[in-house]
Structure formats: structure tokens, C-alpha cells
Structure 1
Amino acid sequence: MITAKARAVYGPDKPFQAAEIKRRDLDSHDVLIEIKYAGICHSDIHTARGEWGPVNYPLVPGHEIAGIVTDVGAEVTKYKVGDRVGVGCMVDSCGECENCRKGEEQYCLNGMVPTYAGVDKYGEPTQGGYSTHIVVKEDFVVKIPDNIELDVAAPLLCAGITTYSPLKRWGTGPGKKVAIVGMGGLGHMAVQIAHAMGAEVTVLSQTLKKKEDGLKLGADHYYATSDPETFEKLAGTFDLILNTVSAKIDLNAYLSLLTLDGTLVNVGAPAEPLSLNVMSLIGQRRSFAGSLIGGIRETQEMLEFCAKHNVVPKIEVISADQIDEAYERVLASNVKYRFVIDTSTM
């Protein structure tokens, strides 16, 4: 077994503590990665605090992982020692169901194995990237392009693919009007990606305090949703609205902003249920949809797209001792725009 240093949480209201965790010995198709950086995602907070259901503590979160390959299994063909690689939100799937065969492993019909808070095929709980090392099957590792630094690469493994996948799926491109709800960790990535895809991009945020940033990142327009006139002025405007916030919103109000056949896609996952009036859909043949992440093939595609278009997250690098503080700042929307843990501080 391989010993890794980590930061673990031992209960929904407990602080993070230094810990040592065991990583399995390499199987024939496994890759050992020395983690250099790990992003903090809002999903980490929901899970660590038990807001999405029961958690098997102690828990090591983290599914935005960037590092270096330091060892490979006997039959590994995709990677070699020294490669710059990343791991996202999943580390395995059945590989045999219809969805897996399509390259949509995130929707595995038998249940994909999440990077943390899951159970692997060996019956062991999975632990995530707030650690110094991780062992992952080579099929669930992606290569980080040379022109993307490892610290900014980490958030692409969740925030990047979570926004890239639905923007691509719903046809973002020239001639399309796309609105991004929220200018946080996900939203600021969605703005850059939608702009790089050629769409006319509008940010819908509670206030205008991040307007300057939004316009610099590629937004064409920026509106405050706290102003009722916003919803009157923009009624029937957008082909696609991507909701990136993890808080409850008035779905009917946002659906009214869609044009005929427009779609509102949720990638933010609030802990409480959302409700809507079905007439908000029927009137203009609108759709309300959801999207998870992307498959491994699409995640690699996203990385290449970001490398080509110079799309990278805006980050604040922190030490392992600052995780609790970072969580509180995420909840207070006091970060521009993604925290990344320097795992050398473990």
C-alpha cells in the first residue's frame, strides 16, 4: 500500500485535519499520480457537510486534480512517468453499458465511481485530491496540454468540463445568444468558453460588482438579477441559459428569458428542490434540462479547446491549512474565482 498525506474532515460540522491515507498498490492498468494542485469545488462543500446525503467519514474531498505520473502498472499504455496529467470527478465505471460505450461514463448505467465519497471495485471508499498522491485506472486519467500550467489546470477538471459539456451539447456558437447565471467558479469558466465558441454572451448575476471582470473574460452584456427591470428587458432573448449557481432561484423568471425552443440548463446543484410552473415551458416550447460533467473523451477535448483558446480559470492558490477558511469564503462568494490547494503544503 502507498501512504499519502491528506486533509480529511471527520464530520459535517468538523474542521479539516491532517491525515494519512492509504492508496492501493498499482494494478496492471493503474497510474500513480503525485498531486501538485487540487481545486476546491462547491460540490466538495456540499459533500463534506453532509448536505447531499449520508457521508462515510473521514472524508478527503477533491475532484479537480493536477499532477505528475510517478509510476505506472505493467500494462499501462497511455501514460509514462513524468507525464502531466489530471483527474476529474470520476475514477471508474463499468465500461460495458450503453452509455460507457458511447464515451458517456459519467452516466454509467451501473453507476460511475466518484473520485471521493464512493466505493471502488475493490470495496474500498474512494478518497479525493486533497492529498499528495492518488492511484487511478489509466482510462480515467487525462493529459494536460503543455501550455496550461498545473495550478490553473486543476479547476478545468470539474469547473471546465461541467460548463463545456452543456455549452457544446446545446449548440453554443456564432449566432447564438447565451446567458450565464452566476459569476463564480463555474460561471467565470462558462463565460470564457461560450465566448471562445463564438456566442453572444450575457452574464446574469445578483449584482454588478463583478461586471468589469465579466466583460474582460468575454461577456458582451452584464445584468443584475436583483433589478426587476432585467427580467422585463430581457424577456424572450436567449437561446440557452446555463445556470451555474448552487442556490435556489426562481425558475419561472429565468425561463421567461428564453426564446422559442430555448433551453435552461442547470449545472449548479442546490441542496433544496426547485419548483416551476409547467406553463413556463409550454408557452414557448421551452425546455428545462440538467447536465453533470462530461466523459473522459470529452474532458480531454475540453482541455485541448482551452489550450487552443487560452481559456483558464482565475485562481487563488492556498495552503492546506486554509481549506476551512476557503470554504467559508466560497459560501460568501468571496473568491475570484477558484481556490486551488498547493498540495506541497500537506
Structure 2
Amino acid sequence: MNFINNWLRSDIQSINAYHVPVSANMVKLDAMESPFPLPDELIRQYLAYLADAQLNRYPSASAEELQQTLRQLMGIPEDFGVLLGNGSDELIQLLALACQADDIILSVEPSFVMYQMIAKFTRLNYQGVDLDENFEIDLPAMLSAIETHKPKLIFIAYPNNPTGNAFERSTIEKIINASDAMVVLDEAYYAYADDSFLTDIAQHPNLVLLRTVSKIGFAGLRLGLLIGAKETVAELDKLRLPYNINTLTQVSANFLLKEKDEIDKNAKIIIAERAKLSSALNAINSVQVYPSQANFILFKAQNANELFEFLKQKGVLIKNLANAPKLTDCLRVTVGSSEQNAQFMNIIEVFYG
């Protein structure tokens, strides 16, 4: 046995690293990224703006200017606190670090895999509650799990990843009111959804929201944010590593996220393309499409594994969930540009003949 196997925790050795597939020279519709590059004119302005970045200095520790930029972009009231992270993943981990050893993280399944992975990394216990056959929250089962396990954290993706649906508001309200846990609503796809719990933070001291700029066109910035009551954010900030948002991310985001009209326009395009793509998929007898309020669509397909490989051979990469628990024969496609979506559909139509 080599050194690392002797040294490393056995539970870490037993898990697989988060897998990112090779995607060079492919139409990339697997990771819920925006299909829209920066306009040429904006690129020129952006590069000029970057020239003033002081890379010899540490970044702003509090990133106050960036916080204000995000408040204006997302309509976050000044009454709420904002905590920034190197992507939402860092903030999920930060929340887990605030717990005591052996506390329980509760979430629904299937959902975002990082809730369970980070629970394991931080030596917390994870409890999943199965969604029903329509990928909706089974409220009696959820309330029973809360009563039985008394979780410290409850994570709910709203809309949910990988299913794409937004759960019933009344169901989530009942969960918030039924528990002493901190309820974390992960609104990564807020820009494409009909509803948000942003203003509800004022009525629920145990509610915090997560958001990210990754799904609105800036995945490369690795920037997430937690929104909650000011006193909650002030305490959680003690766990944030110093200078966690680097200078290039701060400078870039301060410039690019001020383009609210462009960001909103692109979100509306994706919503319209989502409706067209969903209709096109629904027209294929071998496919069952699930409703989505995100920038992706989950669908069940006959011969799903073969379809996934056929798409790859034709240069289109989507997410294969066909062998995942509770997602048998399911695939997930990011809503791309009109041209990308048409290419994707053409290949599917050829596959099913």
C-alpha cells in the first residue's frame, strides 16, 4: 500500500472525484452554461477595464463594490446580507463547516450531487428524501424525515437540478416553518424561473438563498453568493477564507455584471428557446419531456445510453443520467443557441428515424 492510501481517510478513498468529461471541439450542452459569448465591442471595453487591475496586490477582502453590483443586478434589498464565494460550492461547504460533527444535512433526491459530497467531505451525515414519480417533493415523507432526523441544514434546489422543475411554493413554506434547521434554497437558475424566495428572507430567519453567475453567462468567473439576514451573514462570514474572491473575478464581474439589459435579454432568449426545444422533443414518440424552469431540459429516452453515444459521435455533448438512481433512461440537455438546439434535434431525429 502506498503512502497516500495509508494517510488518506478511508471514506474519501471510497468515493469518486467529480467527473468533468472531455468536451474539446464539441457542441457543449452538458453543463448548463450560457451559449452566448461576449459581444466584440464589449470585449474591447472589458480588456481595457482589466488593464487597471492591480495583480501585485491582494484583492479587496470584502469585495464591497462587487456586492453592490450584485445587489443591483439581482434586486437584493439592502436589508439583507450578502456573502460571496468562489462558486456556490464554496458556500455549500462553508455552511457545512458551520455545523457540529455528525450533524445531519437533509435534501431531496435526485438533486445537486454536491450537497451529499460536501456532507461527506466535512464528516456530516447526509439524509436524502426521494421525490415522487413526478419529481415533486413528497411533503409527508419530508416532514417525517425532518421530525425523525432533526437536520441542521436542509438544501433544496429551486428550480431543482437535474430535474428542472420548481417545487410548489406552499410545500417549501411548510418545510421552512416545520424545522429549526437552516433551510438553504439554491436558486442557481433564478433567471429562468417564474418565482423566487428572495423577499421571503425577511419573514423567515432560518432561510438563506444561494445564487450564482455561472448560469447567466459567466461560469468562468466562479462566483456565487449567499443571501440572508444580516446577522446570519455576519456570523457565517467568520468561516470565509480571506481574499476568497480573486482580483480578476472581482474586476471582471464589476464590469460585466453591470450589463443588466444584455443579461436579461439573453435570459429571455433562453426561455423562448427552452419552450421550442421542449416542444420539439415532445413531438418524438420515444421521448418523455419533463417540465423545466431552468436553462436545461430533462427527458427520458428509449435507448438512452445509445442515444447519448450517438450524439457524442456527432459532436454534441449532453449529460447522461440514464444509469443514475431514480433517473433511469434520463438525459439532460442544456438549452443552447437556436443553431445548437437545431443541430441537437436533427441528430435525435436521425437516431429515432
Give the structure, 1 or 2, with the largest relative contact order (CA under 8 Å, sep 6 or more). 2
Normalising by the residue count of structure 1, what TM-score does the alignment of the two structures yield? 0.37
Q: Name whichever structure is richer in helix by fraction.
A: 2
Q: What is the TM-score normalised by the length of structure 2?
A: 0.37
**Which of the two has greater strand per residue?**
1
